[in-house]
Amino acid sequence: MSGIPAGLRGEFPLLARKAYLNSCSYGALSRSVKSAVEGYLETRLTDGARWDLWVGELENVRGRLAALLGCASEDVSVSTSVSESLNSLASALPRDGGRDTIVVTDFDFPTTAHIWLAQSACGRRIVRVDADDSGIALPLERFDALIDERTLLVSIPLVCYRNGVRLDPAPIIQMAHARGARVVLDAYQAVGTMPIDVHALGVDFLVGGCLKYLIGTAGVGFMYVRASRALPWRPTAGGWFAQQDIGAMDHRHLRQAATARRFEAGTPNVCGLHAARAGLEQILGVGLGAISAQISTLTAGIAARASERALQLVTPELPSQHGAMMAIRAHDAPALVEHLAARDVIVSERDGNLRVSPHFYNDESDLDRLFEALDAHPGLLPRV
Ligand SMILES: Cc1ncc(COP(=O)(O)O)c(C=O)c1O
């Protein structure tokens, strides 16, 4: 028994047409997410504005994110993107205390890197942990060499969007904390694929969004803030939804929420929140244990099929070292993606590698279709 409900694939009409292995880019749309959005649109047709319901939907999403991450709702801020959350966090970084350095990595998603690089305009020093010669590891010694008494923040991804490599954040978090620095974990490529417990991780901030493995839609991001009430950082990027009482309409005073809500901004993406809530409910309903087990079976299946054909797998095979993505080296990855799409096999590419990213709704039949399609283009796949 896989733990995946029988009939789940029928919830995702796309799967009847395509071998959809591209959840690292965008999750497949379920019938229940579609009907949540339709419900919202219907309310607009019939009632016009229902801010009472819609602000409630914001809280529903916050609560479900808290359940997903194992924290209190008040430590979750909901945004429109990871970028919005991180920009708010960046605006809150303290200027005193002698810490001026932000440590980034070679595996960062560009938006994360860009937001921290822009901090150099505020007099901050940005240093980067580069990958080793293999290109798929960020050695702990390199963090050790860069994290010191000047470090304010260490920003790391949990799973790299390019190659599927999964970091072990625990020793990095321990090292940063021992040296007085805080850690931001970009978990976008991991949330919805594996159990995540922010308290067990001990991480200070964790960001993600709802459009990929959380199967919602674009336009809903979030940030967990550890012990948000106790954290003295106050953002200068904000807005009325970041106030203690959003109904106060008091333009004469700034009264930021004491909780993680102070990192929010203006009117939320109401339509997107409906999709996000329904997607989160589906993910939580199936459970992260069953979902991660199904993904592990599929990633192992990809590795085995790649190895039978002597294809070059970029992603490490060890389950603890990869996320829900296996990257395969290609000679002309963009062309290969197009050839596969012509056969209704949907994957994506980065850095000359094919990114194959299964989710709980995929099964072995999708892998068979992928590898049949790959077998039709032997010239585009280097062998070991
Ligand atoms: C690791 C990671 N971080 C961030 C993002 C996107 O951030 P934003 O929500 O700001 O578009 C992505 C999207 O692909 C991602 O994979």
The Cα–Cα gap between 100 and 93 comes to 10
| pLDDT above 70 for 234 | yes
Q: Is residue 161, in this structure, part of any structural domain at all?
A: yes
CB 221 less than 6 A from any atom of ligand 1: yes
Out of 248, 283, 318, pick the residue that ends a domain: 283
Q: What is the dihedral of CA 349, 82, 9, 30, to 10 degrees?
A: -120
CB 11 less than 6 A from any atom of ligand 1: no
pLDDT category of residue 80 using cuts at 50, 70 and 90: very high
- What total number of domains does the chain contain? 2
Q: Is residue 2, in this structure, part of any structural domain at all?
A: no
pLDDT in tens, 180-219: 999 999 999 999 999 999 999 999 999 999 999 999 999 9
What atom of ligand 1 comes closest to residue 85's alpha carbon?
A: 10
State the average pLDDT over residues 304-324: 97
pTM of the model: 0.98
CB 209 less than 6 A from any atom of ligand 1: yes
Out of 233, 267, 283, pick the residue that ends a domain: 283
Going from the Cα of 82 to the center of ligand 1, the distance in angstroms, rounded, reads: 6
State the average pLDDT over residues 30-45: 98
Q: What is the model's pLDDT at position 1? A: 55
For residue 370, how many C-alpha atoms fall within 13 Å in the half-sphere facing its CB?
A: 29
Supply the CATH number for residue 202's domain: 3.40.640.10
158 shares a domain with 129? yes
Whose C-alpha lies nearest to ligand 1, atom 14? 25
Whose C-alpha lies nearest to ligand 1, atom 16? 161
pLDDT in tens, 246-296: 999 999 999 999 999 999 999 999 999 999 999 999 999 999 999 999 999
pLDDT in tens, 353-369: 999 999 999 999 999 99
Whose C-alpha lies nearest to ligand 1, atom 7? 82
The Cα–Cα gap between 289 and 294 comes to 9
Listed in sequence order, the residues at least 6 apart from 129 whose beta carbon sits closer than 8 Å to its beta carbon are: 103, 104, 105, 106, 138, 142, 143, 146
268 shares a domain with 238? yes
State the average pLDDT over residues 36-44: 98
Out of 283, 299, 323, pick the residue that ends a domain: 283
203 shares a domain with 140? yes
Phi, psi of 243 (to 5 degrees): -85, 160
pLDDT category of residue 114 using cuts at 50, 70 and 90: very high
pLDDT in tens, 154-172: 999 999 999 999 999 999 9
SS3 350: strand
Nearest by Cα to 328 from 320, 16, 342, 345: 345
CB 163 less than 6 A from any atom of ligand 1: no
156 shares a domain with 269? yes
243 shares a domain with 157? yes
Q: Is residue 42, in this structure, part of any structural domain at all?
A: no
**Mean pLDDT over the full length of the chain:** 97
Residue ranges making up the domain that contains 17? 8-29+287-380
